[in-house]
Copies of this chain bind each other. A is one copy, B any other.
Amino acid sequence: MTAPEIDPRSSDALLAGELIDAWPFLSAEERAEGFRLLATPEAEDLFLGLEARDQATLLLALPRTERQLWIRQLAPDDAADVLQEVSDEAERLALQELIDLETRREVGALLAYAEDAAGGLMSPRYARLRPEMRVDEAISYLRRQAQTNLETIYYIYVLDAEQRLIGVVSFRELFAAPPEATVRDVMRDQIVTVPDDMDQEAVAGVIAEHDLMAVPVVDGQGRLRGIVTVDDIVDVVREEATEDIQKIGGTSALDAPYLQVGLGEMVRKRVGWLAVLFLGSLLTATVIGHYEYEIAKAVVLALFIPLIISSGGNSGSQATTLVIRALAIGELRLRDWWRVLLKEVASGLALGAILGVIGFVRVWVWPGPDPTDQTVLIAFTVAASLVGIVLWGSLVGAMLPFLLSRLGFDPASASAPFVATIVDVTGLVLYFSVAALLLTGTLL
A: residues with CB less than 8 A from B are 1-7, 24, 48-49, 142-143, 146-147, 150, 152-154, 168, 171-172, 175-176, 188, 190-192, 204, 207-213, 229-231, 233-235, 237-238, 241-242, 244-246, 248-251, 254, 257-259, 263, 266-267, 270-271, 273-275, 277-279, 281-282, 284-286, 288-289, 292, 295-296, 299-300, 302-307, 309-311, 313-315, 317-318, 320-326, 329, 331-332, 336, 339-340, 343, 346-347, 350-351, 354-355, 358-359, 362, 368-370, 390, 415-417, 420-421, 424, 428
Whole-angstrom distance between the alpha carbons of A56 and B329 in the complex?
21
Chain B residues in 8 Å Cβ range of A249: 248, 317-318, 320-322, 416
Chain B residues in 8 Å Cβ range of A250: 314, 317-318, 321
Contact between A245 and B244, CB atoms less than 8 A apart: yes
Known: A238-B329, A263-B343, A314-B417. 13 other contacts (CB 8 A): A207-B231, A211-B231, A230-B234, A241-B244, A245-B324, A259-B332, A263-B350, A275-B358, A278-B359, A292-B368, A309-B310, A310-B417, A317-B415
A143 with B176, Cβ < 8 A, contacts A2-B211, A362-B282 known: yes
Contact between A322 and B246, CB atoms less than 8 A apart: yes
Nearest chain B CB to A443 CB, angstrom units: 14
Contact between B331 and A24, CB atoms less than 8 A apart: yes
Nearest chain B CB to A326 CB, angstrom units: 4
> Of B204, B229, B317, B358, which is within 8 A of A278 by CB?
B358
> Of B176, B211, B270, which is within 8 A of A351 by CB?
B270
A288 with B303, Cβ < 8 A, contacts A5-B190, A143-B175, A154-B152 known: yes
A299 with B292, Cβ < 8 A, contacts A275-B354, A318-B274 known: yes
Whole-angstrom distance between the alpha carbons of A188 and B208 in the complex?
30
Chain B residues in 8 Å Cβ range of A207: 231, 234
Contact between B303 and A292, CB atoms less than 8 A apart: yes
Contact between A192 and B3, CB atoms less than 8 A apart: yes
A277 with B325, Cβ < 8 A, contacts A5-B190, A190-B6, A245-B241 known: no
Whole-angstrom distance between the alpha carbons of A351 and B168 in the complex?
55
Whole-angstrom distance between the alpha carbons of A313 and B418 in the complex?
11
Chain B residues in 8 Å Cβ range of A191: 3, 5
Contact between A271 and B351, CB atoms less than 8 A apart: yes
A-B contact pairs, 19 of them (CB 8 A): A1-B213, A207-B234, A237-B237, A238-B241, A249-B318, A249-B321, A250-B318, A250-B321, A258-B322, A270-B351, A274-B354, A277-B310, A277-B314, A278-B358, A282-B307, A285-B368, A288-B306, A292-B300, A305-B305
Contact between A49 and B242, CB atoms less than 8 A apart: no
Chain B residues in 8 Å Cβ range of A231: 207, 211-213, 230
Select from chain B the residue with minimum beta-carbon distance to A208: B234
Chain B residues in 8 Å Cβ range of A336: 259
Contact between A259 and B331, CB atoms less than 8 A apart: yes
Contact between A146 and B266, CB atoms less than 8 A apart: no
Whole-angstrom distance between the alpha carbons of A24 and B245 in the complex?
26
Nearest chain B CB to A317 CB, angstrom units: 5
Whole-angstrom distance between the alpha carbons of A6 and B190 in the complex?
7
Contact between A4 and B315, CB atoms less than 8 A apart: no
Whole-angstrom distance between the alpha carbons of A317 and B247 in the complex?
10
